[in-house]
């Protein structure tokens, strides 16, 4: 059966990554967390004391750094590697969350990572989640889902994720961070966060992960059936 591209876009902490990973596992597809890639760039710039507005230095850093993914056999997760080191835990810290939207709005960063993401998905058979997958990275994706949720619900989910990693942050701080990121992501000039015209809306405020996964898989089944019917006809 011919493989397709599944693009899952939307706001932070809506369940995009968890849903995308589960859908990829169900289908035997590759999964790419593009948000992790932007977090990796943010971590690199912070660790090397490179100012976000110093564009020549940022471009030099993009040339020097290496961002890849490595599968953790124990957890089954793809973990981000920065220059050969797994940095999955570090990129999820609040200090990275506080800066990643600013970094991801830098055109040079956007262009470099979009090119890499397109190379990753050139053979199809991929589930990719982020902010601009269905609009910029793969505008021809066969399945596009745009996820949203109430900001307080998102904050509570994010707080729980951070607590598991022993990072304790108030809901109020997280809400403020999410609202700031939503604004920056939606208003940036380069590939802003927006719903593609042909993307189906999925509000996860009152949904369990299994329900979200089933929702996406139903769209995948419909897309595959449509392609098969078209090929047969």
CATH numbers and ranges of domains, the chain = 5-220 (3.40.50.300)
Tell me the per-residue pLDDT of 72-85, one tens digit each, with 9 for 90 and over.
877 777 899 999 99
pLDDT recorded at residue 9: 98
Share of the chain above pLDDT 70, in %: 98
- 13 marked among binding-site residues: yes
pLDDT (mean) for 129-134: 96
- 81 marked among binding-site residues: no
Alpha-carbon distance of 6 to 218, in angstroms, equals: 12
Q: What angle do CA 109, 93, 138 make, to 5 degrees?
A: 35
* Predicted TM-score (pTM) of this structure: 0.92
Q: How far is CA 23 from each of CA 19, 70, 212, 221, rounded to the nearest angstrom?
A: 6, 19, 9, 12
pLDDT (mean) for 216-230: 90
- 29 marked among binding-site residues: no
- 191 marked among binding-site residues: no
């Amino acid at each position: 059966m011919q493989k397709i591209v599944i693009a899952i876009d939307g706001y932070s902490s809506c369940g995009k990554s968890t849903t995308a990973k589960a859908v990829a596992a169900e289908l035997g597809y590759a999964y790419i967390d593009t948000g992790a890639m932007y977090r990796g760039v943010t971590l690199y710039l912070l660790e090397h004391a490179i100012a976000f507005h110093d564009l020549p230095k940022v471009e030099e850093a993009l040339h020097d750094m290496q961002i890849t993914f490595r599968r953790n056999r124990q957890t089954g997760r793809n973990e981000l590697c920065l220059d050969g080191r797994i940095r999955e835990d570090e990129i999820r810290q609040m200090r990275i969350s506080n800066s990643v939207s600013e970094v991801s709005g830098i055109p040079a960063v956007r262009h470099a990572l979009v090119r890499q993401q397109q190379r990753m998905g050139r053979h199809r058979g991929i589930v990719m989640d982020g902010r601009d997958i269905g609009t910029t990275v793969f505008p021809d994706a066969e399945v596009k889902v745009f996820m949203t949720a109430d900001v307080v619900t998102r904050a509570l989910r994010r707080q729980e994720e951070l607590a598991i990693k022993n990072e304790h942050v108030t809901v109020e701080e997280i809400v403020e961070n999410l609202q700031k990121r939503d604004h920056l992501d939606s208003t940036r000039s380069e590939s802003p966060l927006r719903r593609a015209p042909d993307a189906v809306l999925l509000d996860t405020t009152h949904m369990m992960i299994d329900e979200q996964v089933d929702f996406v898989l139903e769209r995948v089944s419909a897309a595959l059936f449509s392609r098969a019917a078209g090929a047969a006809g």
